[in-house]
Every structure is written in structure tokens, then in C-alpha cells.
């Protein structure tokens, strides 16, 4: 069994001082009380604590310490609106704070070298929980985007995906739809699971059944959406409305519908999730659930910078609300 690596948090707790105080002792700030310095140094010796040199450089005022951005290496990553918006927001945040950005694509199986960056931002947790856990145990300032973390003491910024799925379902039922299908996101992701849960909850509140044939497991890709749309349109009682858990999938549903002479929104209503600008420029403006990806990513950089510099000592946990954006792809059912 591998011993848990001692973090600055452990030192602070044992010495009964703040993390900032430990950082000041490590960086030999002369204003720290001599008695406190001796107490902290004694604990450091007892625990055999080895400070992160990158974090120490930042504490001494070196501004361009790097932030590492860790993202799962799924197919089509550089064509993904979600991934590109996160990269854009994090890049903007790093530029504003004059910090370097190190981009790390991972499949979650290999340990991360946490020494290359003063702080880490993880884009979701998909099969890489051990990497996040290791960073937390090593005392590396880190934050997870788009995942509400319950089992680790780590900062996160996430969207309320249950609320977003619920909003989509409620909007379609408010138009009078009763035969409503959904294409889920990847159900190995929290976002995929939560959007489906919120959607099913909205239908249940209206006493509307969602049979098994109306739920198609997708993976946020256009390929899975095409398979789903072909399945739905071939049913004896096809749905009058479809909630797709990403805008890319919703736009593909519209393409398949048009190929089959099915009109949107006259014959089928379609709602997506993301607020991808591509939804504005198709044959029909896409109604969608907006998640503030750019804002969330830029804010993540600020939080990690504050954790690195000692300005923020506590775990930061924020859940952001999505918004319903109504355009032309949804209408009352024609039958």
C-alpha cells in the first residue's frame, strides 16, 4: 500500500495554523511570529513534508507559474464545442493573469506528473478519478470543471445539469407534447446521467410516460445522434419532440429529419444543450439549454490562482444555473 503523501493542509492542521501561515514560513517571510515559525518547522520535520517548488515560486511573487489543464482524450475533441469553449475560457483566464498554460490530454490510466504546474484544472472526471485524488493528496491546488464532486475535498465549478434536463423536458411538455424522446449524453459522465434524470423528472411531474424505445443512449456525437434519429423516425408511434443532450446531436437530428422529409418544428420539435453558435446558422434556429462554459472556465483559472497564491484557503464549490434559449426548432405538436 502506497503511503499518503503529506500536503500543506496536513502541516497546517497539525500545527494549528492556516495554510497561508505555513506558506509564509516556507518562504521565510520575516513578519511571522518566531514561536509560530518554530512550531510549523517542527511539524514539517515530523511529517517529512516536502513543499511544491512551483507553489513556492508563486508565493515569492513569480507571476507566470503554469496551470495544467487536464482533459479526457475522447474522439473529436478538437471539433467539440464543449472542449473548445473550455480551452478558450481557460486560455483567456491565463492570459489575463499572465500565467502559462500546459495542455494535457489523458485517458485517465497514467499518473500525472504534478510538479510541472503550480495548479491543475480537470475538465470533468471521466475514468481519471485516481489522477484527481492523487493531486489532492499531494496538496496541489486543483479544481474540477463540470462535475459536482462529493467524495473528494476538491474545488469544483459545475453546471446544474439536472436542472437543465428538467428545463428541457418542462418546455416541451408546456407546448403540449406527450410523445417525447431523448438522446442521452455519455452515461459514464455525470452530465449525461444528470441531464437524463432531470428530463425524466419533468415528464414524471406531468404524468407523461417515457417508454424504453424513446430513450437512446448517445455519446454527444453526431454519429450517435444519427443512429438515434433513424431509430425514432422508424417507430410505429414516432415522437413529436426530441431532447438531445448536446447541440451537436440536436443539429444532426434536424439534418436526418430534413433528409426524410420531416419538417422542424411542424412535424418534430428538437431541443439541444450547450448554446453552440452553430445552432444559429442552420435551416432552423435551435432551441437549447445554455451552459456558461467560457465563463466557468475563465473563473476556474481565477480560483486556482487564488488557491496557489494563498488568497483562497478553502475548497470552492459552485453550481451554476443553465438558461433556456428559445428559438424556432420547437412548436406545439401538429397531431
Nearest-10 crossing angle of helices 293-309, 81-96 = 40
Instruction: Considering only residues 236 and 134, tell me which one the structure prediction assigns the higher pLDDT.
Output: 236
Q: Cα torsion at 275, 279, 280, 284 (round to 10°)?
A: -130
Count the alpha carbons within 13 Å of 37 in the hemisphere toward its beta carbon. 11
Pick from 17-31, 98-112, 193-207, 219-233: least confident: 17-31
DSSP secondary structure string, 206-265?
A: TT----GGGEE---SSHHHHHHHHHHHHTSSS--SEEEESSHHHHHHHHHHHHHTT--TT
Does position 189 have pLDDT exceeding 80, yes or no?
yes
The model carries a pTM of 0.79
- Between CA 183 and CA 331, with CA 251 as vertex, the angle to 5 degrees is 80
- Between CA 81 and CA 9, with CA 132 as vertex, the angle to 5 degrees is 130
Note the pLDDT tens digit of each residue in 217-240: 999 989 999 999 999 999 999 999
Q: In this predicted structure, what is the pLDDT of residue 1?
A: 37
Distance CA 123, CA 147 (A): 8
What domains are defined for the chain?
A: 8-51 (1.10.260.40), 67-159+293-321 (3.40.50.2300), 161-290 (3.40.50.2300)
Distance CA 242, CA 181 (A): 5
Note the pLDDT tens digit of each residue in 55-75: 555 555 544 478 999 988 766
Q: In this predicted structure, what is the pLDDT of residue 286?
A: 98
Amino acid at each position: 500500500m502506497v503511503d499518503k503523501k503529506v500536503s500543506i493542509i496536513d502541516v497546517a492542521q497539525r500545527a494549528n495554523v492556516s495554510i497561508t501561515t505555513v506558506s509564509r514560513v516556507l518562504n521565510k517571510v520575516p513578519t511571522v511570529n518566531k514561536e509560530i515559525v518554530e512550531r510549523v518547522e517542527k511539524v514539517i520535520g515530523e511529517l517529512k513534508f516536502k513543499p511544491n517548488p512551483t507553489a513556492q515560486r508563486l508565493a515569492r511573487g513569480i507571476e507566470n507559474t503554469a496551470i495544467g489543464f487536464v482533459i479526457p482524450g475522447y474522439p473529436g475533441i478538437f471539433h467539440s464545442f464543449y472542449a473548445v469553449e473550455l480551452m478558450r475560457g481557460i486560455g483567456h483566464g491565463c492570459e489575463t493573469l499572465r500565467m502559462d498554460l500546459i495542455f494535457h490530454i489523458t485517458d485517465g490510466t497514467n499518473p500525472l506528473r504534478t510538479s510541472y504546474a503550480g495548479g491543475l484544472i480537470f475538465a470533468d472526471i471521466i475514468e481519471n478519478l485516481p489522477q484527481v485524488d492523487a493531486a489532492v493528496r499531494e496538496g496541489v491546488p486543483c479544481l474540477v470543471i463540470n462535475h459536482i464532486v462529493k467524495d473528494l475535498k476538491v474545488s469544483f465549478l459545475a453546471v446544474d445539469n439536472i436542472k437543465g434536463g428538467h428545463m428541457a423536458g418542462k418546455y416541451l411538455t408546456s407546448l403540449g407534447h406527450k410523445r417525447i424522446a431523448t438522446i442521452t449524453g455519455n452515461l459514464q459522465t455525470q452530465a449525461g446521467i444528470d441531464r437524463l434524470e432531470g428530463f425524466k423528472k419533468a415528464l414524471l411531474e406531468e404524468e407523461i410516460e417515457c417508454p424504453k424505445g424513446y430513450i437512446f443512449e448517445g455519446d454527444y456525437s453526431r454519429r450517435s445522434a444519427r443512429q438515434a434519429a433513424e431509430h425514432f423516425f422508424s417507430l410505429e408511434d414516432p415522437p413529436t419532440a426530441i431532447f438531445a443532450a448536446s447541440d451537436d446531436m440536436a443539429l444532426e437530428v434536424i439534418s436526418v429529419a430534413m433528409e426524410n422529409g420531416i419538417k422542424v418544428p411542424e412535424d418534430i420539435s428538437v431541443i439541444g444543450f450547450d448554446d453552440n453558435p452553430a445552432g444559429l446558422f442552420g435551416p432552423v434556429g435551435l432551441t437549447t439549454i445554455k451552459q456558461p462554459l467560457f465563463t466557468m472556465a475563465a473563473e476556474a483559472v481565477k480560483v486556482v490562482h487564488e488557491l496557489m497564491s494563498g488568497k483562497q484557503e478553502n475548497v470552492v464549490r459552485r453550481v451554476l444555473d443553465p438558461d433556456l434559449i428559445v428559438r424556432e426548432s420547437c412548436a406545439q405538436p401538429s397531431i
